[in-house]
Structure 1
Amino acid sequence: MSTKTQRIDAATLLSIVLDEDSFQSWDSQPQQPVLNESYAADLNTARNRSGTDESVITGTGLIQGREVALIVSEFNFLAGSIGQAAVKRIVAAIQRATAARLPLLAGPASGGTRMQEGTLAFLGMVAITDAVRRHKEAGLPYLVYLRHPTTGGVMASWGSLGHITVAEPGALLGFLGPRVYQALYGEDFPEGIQSSENLFRKGLIDAVVTPQELPALASRALQILQPAQHPDAFPAPTGRTAFRNTEDVWHAVQSSRNPRRPDTRMLLATADDALPLNGTGQGEKDPGLMLALARFGDQRCVVLGQQRPRHPDTASLGPASLREARRGMQLAQELGLPLVTIIDTTGAELSVQAEEGGLAGEIARSLSELIGLRSPSVSVLLGQGTGGAALALLPADRTIAAQNSWLSPLPPEGASAILHRTTSHAPEMARQQRIGVDSLCEFGLVDHVVEEFVDAAARPREFCHELGAAIAAAISLAITIPAADRLERRQKKFHDLGEAAR
């Protein structure tokens, strides 16, 4: 597939992605290392062939009116290879973008580091990686568009560090170049493994998009990742902390299991904007969790949402879902965005694979990262909240709950089976264990209830709009907590649970 992909040069990509006549170059004449005659001839040929003076072009431009810094590879210049002069150009561009507080879009297309320059060129990947790290530590977006082909040291450094990483269709992407593999092992690398489409299936990149689709995607991402100029004012929540449910808690349990009840997917579909991300970025993708950048009103956030299986035999939340959740936590922390977690789960996956995949450890690590998260956070009880899978996404500055949601260590049937050796006492156990929203308010866990005088399943879109407004209001309250007090307040909330009810 990758051999049929037609490469586009850097100038063509810039003309497609940027607003007309908006590109301004940051490049000065490169200072090449001491050359031998053969390498000097290679460089001269590369300049004539590519029309550029190095393998990367840097500068600034507008994408649908938004200013961005850019680093774009020119593959026609010595296969886009990165030598010492290119390293200096890339690092300087990243540092300039950081100083100007500009988002950065990288478009690598490279065979890796430049063999003519040996180890010094290879070591330059460390300097580039450090510059990217500092840019991200400054809370600035770093977007990557992987182009055909990207391999070697470039793929193993600045090509794989994006907050969001997308790739062009049919691109060859991987650490090991096919020619190297063939030379080492005397056979071709298996077809399709290093394609952008396969990387998407494996959860290594977020999307496969054409160059023509990139401007709209980048603009949407930046609209969420960058602060609004004039934030909307949100009204205070209309629900009550001291909530009393007129229905029996068993009614809530049954309502939460209605297959027509709105889920995370529908909530994101009714948000003001939502940009789905894909997988852990480490070769795993689990349907049990949705990760997205989203905007509710003018409140931007990272969303981690548990997704109810569409079919009863689909696996529950597994270790990969929690690793994907931790990717979302890291995104929120690096970008200074609020984190919203949506809880709606029948429980964690119970299988040999889940045990060997470290499920218990992933729950523990998720809990640890959430309770220590520096970003503002909101958790949402949307439906069923069973066991460790629910607990793993629960800690937050503020918690809101749908009226017919609930939280318990086991489903009521499971608690009944343990204590009574039958599931027939499930309604009684639901009441006894105080799993309903009114009890969760009394305990001090839930701060706001989104009421369901009419069951959410009967009016799903309207309910999602109401829940979205509640999320926006909760975010607006969470971000007012002083950063210096955030962790202590969160700790106190969970240390003091139940004190008011005693």
Structure 2
Amino acid sequence: MSAAYGRDLSRAAARSGRDESIRTGAGRVAGHRVAVVASEYDFLGGSVGRAAARRATAAIERATAEKRVLLALPASGGTRIQEGTPAFLQMLTISAAIAGHRAASLPYLVYLRHPTTGGVLASWASLGHVTFAEPGALVGFLGPRVVEALTGAALARDAQSPRALRHAGVVDAVVAPADLREAVQRVLRVVAVDRGPTTAESGTGAPPAGVEPGEPGHTGDPWASVLATRAPDRPGLREFLAASTSDLTLLGASELGQGPDMPGTPMVTALALLRGIPCVVIGQDREAQRHQPIGVRDLHAAQHAVQRAVDLRLPIVTVIDTPGAELSAEAERAGLAAAIAHCLAALLSTPVPTVSVLLGQGAGGAALALLPADAVVAAEDAWLAPLPPEGASTIMHRTVDHAAEMARELRITAGDLYRLGAVDVVVARGPAGVGTTAGLAGLAGAVARCLRAVAVRDAATRLAARRDRHRRLSS
């Protein structure tokens, strides 16, 4: 250690009242056992050297051994320049400890404080299962002064803002310090490892029996179902979530819109309790799709949510309600078909329990992407087709005029899907429609029962049953 560096350390200790740039501890948040790794920015800008890295790594490994939730609160300029490359390499050490924590399916939450940059952001600060950020914080790979010095060009003012990163899906929520406790509690009520046996884990018995619509007056006309699911006042994902979930935390860039100026995102991913059962929800928002169809970015978000569910060993609930994916040259160049295929593959191979809800429209690959599941629940007037009936009419008749006829020929209804074995439970819409409180409650209840039923199987049995399920569709 140089004499100058020794003086820097002494001044930092006097100024901050701390002996290093990393502080660690353990405690409880709303009864959940939590370990904390926090930066001390007043100590040399929160920079991480070898001593700080050893402290962080020891705390993370201890949290893993004790099966604690890990909460990181970085505020750092990056690795410690005074220690050079040896300090830079410590980002590997800390990240390896985080990887071990995540491999044990232990939740890792991150709160990005002002500022968080450099090697810290490019390693352990960006590995959270859920990532919050402080409003107004500088969060970026390199600080704007360094970027301008190295490139000769200044960054846009908001390029490293939490709100821009939220829009990009890098940050899950922008949370004021005063609101952090509640945000963490809400997540822990879903993901915490010490929550005790869940409703899903304690379920017993066979999967719920399917209920095929067929009573007089309830079979319906396929074209009437198509029109019903397109009605402007048709309830969608937002109403289903409001009726069935609590402790909802949106993930990535997901937004549930609030008016025409904030339409939301076509694909919504979230942590939630569905009738008390912890799960990851991946759903298609019909309101947002009026302004923006489902594209490659949305399908990538769905895949990312599947991986989060696997990491946290949480069941997945998908909600299908889409008029179809984006049709554009940009979508083709971005690999829309490949994104659909990879989303399908992720759901087909995930080891966690899965339940799909066919809520309304189910047009094309965008619908198929969320369909693979251990059990499928459908609203009675929901439907699934390789493309909208108008598209089928164009293929067969070179005009959209035969759409109603094609809807009747394509076997698209929930009843058809039940008879094919693609749907397990059909929930009657009732006299006032699926959008009534009773109708949505019926859907939520069926989903919860299916979650309990499929969760009691071990992963190998579940995967084998899922393969057999889809193999039977060709018989």
The answer to whether TM tops 0.5 is: yes
Please report how far the alpha carbon of residue 367 of structure 1 lies from its aligned counterpart in structure 2 after TM superposition.
0.9
TM-score (norm. length: structure 1): 0.87
Q: Distance in 1 between matches of 2:104 and 2:30?
A: 24
- Paired residue for 2:117, among 151, 167, 182? 151
1:308 maps onto 2:274 in alignment: no
2-side partners of 1:338 and 1:452: how far apart?
26
1:169-180 correspondence runs (5 A): 169-180=135-146
User: 1:322 maps to which residue?
Assistant: 299
Distance 1:462 1:397 in 2: 25
1:436 to 390, 413, 432: 413
Matched residue type, 2:462? R
What are the superposed Cα offsets for residues 75-128 of structure 1, whole Å, 9 maximum, x if unpaired? 000100000011111111111111111111100000000011111110111111
Output the amino acid matched with 1:164.
V
Name the SS for the 1:449 alignment partner.
Answer: strand
The alpha carbon displacement at 1:234 in A equals 6.8
Aligned twin of 1:337: 314
| 3-state DSSP of counterpart to 2:457 | coil
**Closer/same/farther in 2, CA of residues 162 and 497 from structure 1, 3 Å limit:** same
Match of 1:168 in 2: 134
Q: Which moves more between the two structures, 140-149 or 243-252?
A: 243-252
Query: How far, CA to CA, are the matches of 2:119 and 2:374 in structure 1?
Result: 41
1:299 aligns with: 277
Q: Which residue number in structure 1 is paired with residue 226 of structure 2? A: 253
1:463 equivalent to 2:439? Answer yes
1:78 aligns with 2:44: yes
| Shift in alpha-carbon separation, 1:234–1:116, aligned structure 2, 3 A | same
Q: 1:192 to 1:408 in 2, by over 3 A?
A: same
Distance 1:147 1:60 in 2: 19
Q: Which amino acid aligns with 2:241?
A: L
Look up the match of 1:262: 235
Separation in 2, partners of 1:311, 1:163: 27
CA distance in 2, matches of 1:391, 1:62: 42
**Partner residue in 1 for 2:247:** 273
Equivalent AA in structure 1 for residue 242 of structure 2: A
| Alpha-carbon distance between aligned partners in 1 of 2:170 and 2:211, rounded to the nearest angstrom | 42
One-letter amino acid matched to 1:229: G
CA spacing shift, 1:370–1:187, aligned 2, 3 Å: closer
Aligned CA distance change for structure 1 residues 458 and 50 (closer, same or farther; 3 Å): closer
The residue aligned with 1:92 is 58
1:272 deviation in Å? 2.8
Cα displacement string for residues 19-42 of structure 1 (whole angstroms, at most 9, x for unaligned residues) = xxxxxxxxxxxxxxxx22111111
Structure 1 contact 239–450 (Cα < 8 Å) conserved: no
C-alpha separation in 1, matches of 2:381 and 2:204: 23
Per-residue CA shift, 1:207-248, capped at 9, x if unaligned?
111111000000010101125435447798876344425212
Q: How does 1:4-403 map to 2 (within 5 A)?
A: 35-185=1-151, 188-226=154-192, 228-229=195-196, 231-232=198-199, 240-244=210-214, 245-270=218-243, 271-279=245-253, 287-310=265-288, 312=290, 314-403=291-380
Q: TM-score, normalised by structure 2?
A: 0.92
Which secondary structure state, in structure 1, belongs to the residue aligned with residue 128 of structure 2?
A: coil
1:377–1:396 contact (8 Å) kept in structure 2: yes
* 1:492 matches 2:448: no
Deviation at 1:172, TM superposition (A): 0.3
Amino acid at match of 1:263: G
Q: Is the 8 A contact 2:213 2:428 kept in 1?
A: no
5+ long unaligned stretches in structure 2: 255-262
Secondary structure in 2 matching 1:424: helix
CA RMSD, aligned part only? Answer: 2.0
CA distance in 2 between counterparts of 1:327 and 1:362 reads 12
When the two structures are aligned, how many residues end up with a matched partner?
459
Does the CA contact (< 8 Å) of 2:264 and 2:288 recur in 1? no
CA distance in structure 2 between the partners assigned to 1:150 and 1:112 by the alignment: 7
Determine the structure 1 residue equivalent to 2:257. Answer: none
Q: Look up the equivalent residue of 1:463 and give its one-letter code.
A: G
- CA distance 1:272–1:488, change in 2 (3 Å): same
